[in-house]
Amino acid sequence: MAVAAARGPDPPVPHARPGADGEVVVQLSDELLADGLADLRWLLRDALLAGARRLVVDLTGVRQLSSTAVASFLWAHRSCRARGGAVVLRGVNRRTQDLLDRTGLWRVLEVEEPGGRSAR
């Protein structure tokens, strides 16, 4: 199930429920992240409360991630791991990949290859 982040006065609330595989896709954009991380946290929280085990975060529309955005992914990762799932980053650009490599987070967060498979 895919969830697109919309801008507005209220936090975006995904109406998607996890599919049979427990997967929810959250699509992010630079505009969403520029407004602050409250919207991102709501998206991740609501997906987890809906029962997601595997959270796919689509970063195709994101040029640069802040450290607090990465911290939000790690928070979601702990919840997903407790359910036997994971957080998967899709559409990772070179800058984000470098960040993951420098911090060692490539060992923690899964990165989906362009073909749709996880790199780990």
What domains lie within the chain, and their CATH numbers? 2-111 (3.30.750.24)
H helices of the chain, in order, are 30-34, 38-49, 67-82, 94-103
Query: 85: closest CA among 14, 17, 21?
Result: 21
List, for residues 8-49, the tens digit of each pLDDT value. 444 444 445 677 788 999 999 999 888 778 889 999 999 999
What rounded mean pLDDT belongs to the chain?
Answer: 84
* Residue-wise pLDDT tens digits, 103-120: 999 999 999 987 666 665
Burial of 107 (0-12, 13-18, 19+ CB in 10 A): exposed
- Per-residue pLDDT band for 80 (boundaries 50, 70, 90) equals very high
